[in-house]
């Protein structure tokens, strides 16, 4: 069967799902497969049923591999929708987004328009430290802390197929992979007191060296090793964040929301995925409420 009109694609995709290996049950996978089918149409003027089934199978295969390593991961738009529903339910309006994510350009493709205070350095570690953000009077603050991990078009975790770059796929997060390789090779740890030209990387290497026992080769399953590297990188950033968070801003009603997790830079036409790990709200009276079950289920 050949389709000539792009607007029929979504319907056709649903009709041919039965012929694919699995049904599509992830909205972001559906969007990615639809986008890939649209690209076929745009370049060739038609798409075959076999190509549609191929795109569905590929999208399902990618999601299945992501969920094997990050069971709680979902498309970032779904994470945003759930988070916003909780904030709206709490009557939160004026809020400053402060984020601690790696400066790698693949983490910032979608961001624009909204005001963001960047707290993060390499690997999403909040190197900006205690120096505060600028919360509006009577407003609230939301901190997002997340390391990132890429998946290449060949479904390799820890790598990313970067558009227009000849040595693609390359490592993502390069800082986390670099730190693990530095330690695995038995190289000397940099002395933090004397580093002025590469402090962030030196700090990450030192912290990673304490966690290398978690990063065994995993019986040759390099995707499992890379997923564990992302979790260990998360713990490095979260440990630092826990030391510097403060509710010393705004007024008596101001709240500090802190979410952490792992950002996953997805291959092909997929939007980024995100695995939430923690989400809580700190109030001025010192109380801390866990918002994770309400937002993402237990
Ligand atoms: Zn990075």
| pLDDT tens digit sequence for 195-238 | 778 899 999 999 999 999 999 877 789 999 999 999 999 999 99
Give 118 Cα–ligand 1 centroid separation in angstroms: 14
| C-alpha 148 to ligand 1 mean position (Å) | 6
- What span, in angstroms and rounded, lies between the C-alpha atoms of 296 and 280? 12
Report how far residue 281's alpha carbon sits from residue 277's, in angstroms, rounded to the nearest whole number: 14
What's the token pair of residue 104?
């790698």
- Short-list 191, 214, 215, 213, CA closest to 203: 191
> Among the listed ranges 37-46, 129-138, 192-201, 216-225, which one has the minimum average pLDDT value?
129-138
Q: Looking at residues 70-98, what average pLDDT do you find?
A: 92
Centre of ligand 1 to C-alpha 173, Å, is 4
Instruction: Give the pLDDT score at 4.
Output: 38
Q: What's the whole-number mean pLDDT along residues 177-193? A: 93
Expressed in angstroms and rounded, the spacing between residue 174 Cα and the centre of ligand 1 is 5
Question: Does pLDDT of 127 surpass 90?
Answer: no
- 102 CA to middle of ligand 1, Å? 5
What average pLDDT does this structure show over 90-116?
73
pLDDT at 20 over 70: no
| Gap from CA of 121 to ligand 1 centroid (Å) | 9
What is the percent of the chain with per-residue pLDDT over 90, rounded to a whole number? 61
Write out the two tokens for 91: 């009557």
Please give the distance, rounded to the nearest whole angstrom, from the Cα atom of residue 171 to the centre of ligand 1: 8
Give pLDDT tens digits for 284-295.
Answer: 999 999 999 999
Instruction: Report the distance separating Cα 226 and Cα 224, nearest Å.
Output: 5
pLDDT above 80: residue 137: no
Q: Which residue has the higher pLDDT, 50 or 218?
A: 50
At residue 112, the pLDDT reads 36
Is it the case that residue 246 has pLDDT exceeding 90? no
Q: How far is the CA of 176 from the centre of ligand 1 (A)?
A: 7
Structural domains of the chain in order of their starting residue, each with its CATH number: 2-68 (no CATH), 72-296 (3.40.1050)
């Amino acid at each position: 069967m050949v389709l000539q009109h792009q607007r029929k694609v979504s319907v056709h995709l649903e009709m041919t799902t039965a012929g694919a290996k699995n049904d599509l049950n992830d909205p972001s996978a559906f969007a990615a497969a639809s986008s890939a089918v649209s690209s076929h149409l745009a370049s060739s003027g038609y798409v075959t049923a076999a190509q549609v089934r191929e795109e569905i199978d590929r999208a399902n295969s990618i999601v299945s591999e992501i969920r094997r390593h990050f069971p709680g991961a979902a498309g970032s738009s779904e994470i945003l929708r759930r988070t916003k529903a909780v904030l709206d339910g709490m009557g939160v309006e004026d809020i400053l987004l402060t984020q601690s994510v790696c400066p790698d350009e693949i983490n910032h493709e979608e961001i624009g328009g909204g005001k963001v205070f960047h707290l993060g350095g390499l690997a999403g570690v909040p190197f900006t430290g205690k120096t505060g953000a600028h919360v509006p009077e009577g407003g609230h603050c939301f901190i997002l802390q997340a390391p990132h991990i890429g998946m290449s078009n060949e479904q390799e975790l820890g790598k990313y197929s970067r558009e227009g770059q000849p040595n693609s796929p390359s490592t993502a997060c390069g800082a986390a992979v670099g730190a693990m390789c530095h330690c695995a090779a038995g190289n000397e740890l940099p002395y933090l007191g004397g580093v002025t030209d590469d402090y962030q990387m030196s700090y990450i290497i030192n912290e990673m060296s304490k966690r290398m026992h978690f990063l065994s080769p995993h019986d040759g399953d390099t995707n499992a090793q890379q997923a564990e590297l992302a979790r260990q990188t998360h713990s490095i950033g979260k440990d630092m964040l826990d030391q510097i968070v403060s509710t010393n801003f705004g007024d008596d009603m101001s709240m500090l929301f802190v979410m952490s997790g792992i950002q996953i830079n997805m291959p092909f036409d997929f939007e980024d995925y995100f695995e939430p790990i923690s989400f809580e709200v700190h109030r001025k009276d010192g109380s801390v409420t866990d918002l994770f079950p309400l937002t993402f289920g237990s």
